[in-house]
Amino acid sequence: MSPSDFLFATPSFLRGMASVLDMGDTLSVFNTTDTLNDADSRATAADWQAVGQDIRKALKEYQATHAL
């Protein structure tokens, strides 16, 4: 699970097969937070974590290319 998908259900093969027969959409379960502010805070933190990962990856690629 990546940092930015904590509010989404984790898919699996069995859930996918069961969803074909789930006409009432009773199997859809999503992760929740207590408040909208908490969800927003977690999403913002996850976004910044992703930015940090991208910067670290770009820095490693730059160092490998330019032999620093």
> Span 54-61, mean pLDDT?
96
CA distance 68 to 59: 10
> How many other CB atoms sit within 10 Å of the CB of residue 10?
10
More confident residue, 12 or 4: 12
CA 18 to chain centre: 23
pLDDT tens readout for residues 29-50: 666 778 888 888 888 898 899 9
Which sign does the torsion angle of CA 1, 5, 46, 50 carry?
positive
Q: What is the pLDDT of residue 62?
A: 94
Per domain, the residue ranges of the chain are 3-66
Which sign does the torsion angle of CA 51, 54, 56, 58 carry?
negative
Phi and psi dihedrals of 11, rounded to 5? Answer: -75, 155
